[in-house]
Amino acid sequence: MIFSIIIFIITLLVLVLIHEFGHFLMAKKFGIKVEEFGFGIPPRLWGKKIGETIYSINWLPFGGFVKLLGEDEVDTITIDKEGKNRDFRAKPVSKRILVVVAGVAMNLVLAWALFYTVIISQNFRIIYPTISQGVYIFRTENNLPAQQAGVKEGEKLVAIDNEQISDIEQARKFIKAKDETKTTLTLADSDGKNQRKVELIPKKQDNGDVLIGVVFSPIPFRTYSTLPEKIFSGVTYSWDLTKITFIGLGQLFNQLFVGDFGQASKSVSGPVGLAVATGDILSAGWQAVLPYLWFVGIISLTLSIFNILPIPALDGGRLLFLVIEAITHKKVKEDVEKTVHQIGFIILIGLALLITYSDIRKLFS
C-alpha cells in the first residue's frame, strides 16, 4: 500500500508540474515574471528561490500554481528595476489568454500521448468507459457459434430471445438454459444503438457446459480499424471520454439537486480515492503498466476538462474574465475579479476537504 501511495504522489506531482509548466513556459515566452512555482496549496511547507522564482511545496496536495507578477494585484502595473514591464496585466489580452490555457493544453497533450501509447500497445483496442455497465462482447472464440454467426467484438448484448440482459451472470444462465436450441441474440454498438439480431445454436461441451463462444465484459472496448481511425484514435478517444464526463456531471448535479447526497458522494473521488484506485490497479504487478498509464491519462484529461470550466480560481474562471475583456475591450475591475477568485478559492478548498472526508469514510464503510 505504501508503494502505491508513493507512486500516486509521484504521479500527482508529475501531472501538476506538467500543467503549471505550461503556464510557466508561456509566461517566460512573453516576458512575464514568474514569482513562484508551487506544488499544492499554501500554507508553504518548503520553498527555495532559484533565479527570480520561488519553487515551493505546500501543505494541501490538491493541485499547484504559478504566481505571475501582477496577476492578482489591484494597484498600478509594476515596473521592475531594469525598467522592463513584466507585469501580467500589461500584456495584450491574446497573450494573457495563451498563458492561462497553456496548462490545460499540456494536460490534454499528455492525455493524448498516454492514450496513444495504450491504444497502440493493445493493437488499437482500448477500454471504453460508459456511465452504466452492461454486457459486452470482449472476444469471440474461433470455430464456435458466435463467431460463425457474425457476432463482433465490442458489441453490446441487449437481449437473448427478447429477454433483456442486465449482467454477465444472467447472460450465462440464459445461454446454458437454451442448451442446443436455436437462440436469437439482440446486439447493438457500444453505445446501445444500431440494434441487430443474430441467430445461432449454442454448442454443448463434453463437460456439460453450453457455450456460444464469447468472452463477456461488463464494460465495452473500442477497436480502431481503419487508417484514419488509428491516426486520430488518441484524440477521438479523449473526445468520447469528455462527452461521458459531462454526462456524468449532469447526473451528479441532478443528484445534488434532488438531495441524493449519498449517491453523489459515491460518484466523485479526491486524492484519497484516487490513491486507493492506484493501489487496486498496481496490485496486478507488471501487468498493471498499461492499465495504470490509461488511468493517468484519465486523470490528466479530467484535470484539463475541469480546469477549463468557468469556475472562479481555476484557469477557466480567469479565462472567462479575459474573454469578456477581449469582447468588450474593457477590463473587469481588478478588485472585483480578485474578490471573485478568492471566494471561488475558498469554496474549492471546502469542496476538496468534503470530498477527502467522503473518500476516507468509504475506506471504513
Compute the distance between CA of residue 105 and CA of residue 236 in angstroms, rounded to an integer: 16
65 phi and psi, to 5 degrees?
-160, 155
Using the 8-state DSSP alphabet, how is residue 220 labeled?
-
The average pLDDT across 51-71 equals 86
Using the 8-state DSSP alphabet, how is residue 88 labeled?
G
Q: Is residue 37 scored above 60 in pLDDT?
A: yes
Residue 9: the pLDDT is: 85
Listed in sequence order, the residues at least 6 apart from 26 whose beta carbon sits closer than 8 Å to its beta carbon are 98, 99, 102
Residue 79: the pLDDT is: 57
More confident residue, 39 or 268: 39
More confident residue, 64 or 228: 228
Q: Is residue 24 scored above 60 in pLDDT?
A: yes
Whether the CB-CB separation of 155 and 135 falls below 8 Å is answered with no
- The residues assigned a catalytic role are 20
Q: Is residue 81 scored above 60 in pLDDT?
A: no
Residue 151: the pLDDT is: 93
pTM: predicted TM-score of the whole model, two decimal places: 0.80
Residue 1: the pLDDT is: 67
For 260, other C-beta atoms within 10 Å of its C-beta total 13
Whether the CB-CB separation of 221 and 138 falls below 8 Å is answered with yes
Q: Is residue 362 scored above 50 in pLDDT?
A: yes
Secondary structure E strands in the chain = 34-50, 53-68, 125-127, 136-140, 156-160, 163-164, 183-188, 196-200, 203-204, 210-211, 214-217, 221-223
The average pLDDT across 203-232 equals 88
Residue 186's nearest CA partner among 249, 225, 137, 232 is 137
Q: Is residue 82 scored above 60 in pLDDT?
A: no
Identify the structural domains of the chain with CATH numbers, from first to last: 1-132+224-365 (no CATH), 136-218 (2.30.42.10)
Tens of pLDDT, residues 97-134: 999 999 999 999 999 999 999 999 999 989 887 776 78
- Give me the residue label for grid cell 525598467: 83
Residue 74: the pLDDT is: 67
Taken in order 59, 62, 67, 72, the sign of the CA dihedral is negative
Tens of pLDDT, residues 134-143: 899 988 888 8
Q: Is residue 83 scored above 80 in pLDDT?
A: no
Q: Is residue 225 scored above 50 in pLDDT?
A: yes
The average pLDDT across 52-70 equals 86
Q: Is residue 16 scored above 60 in pLDDT?
A: yes
The average pLDDT across 205-226 equals 86
Reported as a pLDDT band with limits 50, 70 and 90, residue 76 is low
Strand partners, 68: 34
Using the 8-state DSSP alphabet, how is residue 31 labeled?
T
Residue 267: the pLDDT is: 66
pLDDT > 70 fraction of the chain, expressed in percent and rounded: 94
Reported as a pLDDT band with limits 50, 70 and 90, residue 71 is confident
The average pLDDT across 264-289 equals 79
